[in-house]
Structure 1
Amino acid sequence: MLKVQELRELIKLVDQSSIDEFTYETNGTTVSMKKSGVQQEVKTVEQHAAQVEQPTAPVVKEETKAPVAEAPKESKNEEPAAESSADFDHEIVSPMVGTLYTAPNPESDPYVQKGSKVEKDSVVCIVEAMKLFNEIEAEVSGEITEILVEDGELVEYGQPLFRVKTK
């Protein structure tokens, strides 16, 4: 069964894309999404429900109003970022979904802190995805002006992690 976070991610991806209908099947679970105006309809069907003669009876139907309501919240969160644009020139974003670690191990100091100077090849954090630890590099030279995530936090693809004032 898909986790709630995975479902939210799928809803967000479908919402941002130009597709109107999406079906995903894995491990006996089927998730179907269909855009209808502003709202999306999500149906989850277990494998045993698909084997019943009348498949419409056991279908669990959820109206997903929360993700639609979350979209304006995200745009509100972007407004303060635009206001503080004088503090940074570049955002280091997560290249993948995973767990972020600010240090190579729990006993070590963090790779960077607010005010740290970084080069293009400086490692700023690690994102663990599927038991693989991926070092994330700054990609620009400058100074870390803001750290937007905490150690051990789950991050999403494209999520801003650090703000950098370039040289």
Structure 2
Amino acid sequence: MKIQEIREIIKLVDGSSIEEFSYEFEGVKVKMKKSGSGKVQPSASSSIQTSPAPKAVEAPSAPAPAKEPKAEELVSEEAPEIPADNESEYHKILSPMVGTFYESPSPDEDAYVQVGTKVTADQVVCIVEAMKLFNEIEAEVDGEIAEILVKDGQLVEYGQPLFLVKAN
């Protein structure tokens, strides 16, 4: 687990109504507890430890995802190279956080956008899920979707390009 991921978890817990949070994955255990002021504070009960843990832990109240990513989908893919002479005409929509990319609001609905879709700056183009919070990502510019750089259900990193938009 990277320090950036831990910081993102702290921000998410701090901005939510959750009072106490515990997370275990691949031998890393993170525990957080809010103080009376509602801010995440280090305390004797807050710790980051390495210990044997199961491969995946799900929150008991969370529904199972509609589609489990396969092991080969978990590997972050590099964005295709854009020719240097054409790079200035494309706007990259970047992931604002580490999470899972979803192209539609739910598994049984159509994708927000496809290649060739005309978008406005405030139009939602996808969702990035982080810690069971679904964050709508907007296009940021008016234009046309030129390329979708990630697959539905793929894990994405902070700052990773998700879409190329040919700006108007």
Sort the TM-score into its range (normalised by shorter chain).
0.5 to 0.7
| Cα distance in 2, alignment partners of residues 109 and 88 from structure 1 | 28
Alignment partner, residue 108 of structure 2: 107
Distance 1:166 1:106, change over 3 A: same
CA RMSD of aligned residues (A): 2.8
Listed as ranges, the gaps of 5+ residues in structure 1 are 11-24, 30-45, 47-73
Please list, as runs of the form range in 1=range in 2, the aligned pairs for 1:42-61 lying within 5 A after superposition.
none
* Equivalent-residue separation in structure 2 for 1:133 and 1:96 (angstroms): 11
Post-superposition shift, 1:89? 2.0
* Aligned mates of 2:129, 2:108 — CA distance in 1: 17
The residue aligned with 2:160 is 159
Give deviations 1:68-112, integer Å, cap 9, x for gaps. xxxxxx7xx67x224473584200000000001000000111000
Residue 27 of structure 1 is matched in structure 2 by 48
TM-score, length of structure 2 as denominator length: 0.54
| Aligned equivalents of 1:114, 1:151: Cα separation in 2 | 14
- Provide the rounded CA distance (Å) in 2 between the counterparts of 1:165 and 1:119: 12
Q: For residues 140 and 104 of structure 2, what CA distance do their matches in structure 1 show?
A: 18
Aligned residue type for 1:101: Y
Superposition pairs of residues 125-140 of structure 1, within 5 angstroms = 125-140=126-141
* 8 A Cα contact 1:118 1:138, kept in partner: yes
Q: What amino acid sits opposite 2:119 in the alignment? A: V
The match for 1:147 is 148
Closer, same or farther in 2 for the Cα pair 1:84/1:130, shift >3 Å? farther
Greater relative contact order (CA < 8 Å, ≥ 6 in sequence): 2
- Distance, in Å, in 2 between the alignment partners of 1:150 and 1:143 is 19
Identity rate, percent? 59
- Give the whole-Å Cα distance in 2 for the aligned partners of 1:107 and 1:135: 17
Asked if 2 retains the 8 angstrom alpha-carbon contact of 1:99 and 1:155, the reply is: yes
Contact 1:87–1:165 (8 Å) recurs in 2: no
Q: Deviations over 1:105-137 (max 9, x none)?
A: 001110000000000111000000011000000
Larger radius of gyration: 1
* 1:81 has 2:43 as partner: no
Q: 1:145 to 1:102 in 2, by over 3 A?
A: same
- The count of residues paired between Structure 1 and Structure 2 equals 103
Q: TM-score, normalised by structure 1?
A: 0.54
Displacement of 1:28: 2.4
Residue type at the aligned position of 1:152: G
Distance in 2 of aligned mates of 1:87 and 1:148? 17
* Greater share of strand: 1
Letter in 2 for 1:163: L
Structure 2 residues without counterparts, runs of 5 or longer: 7-29, 31-46, 52-77
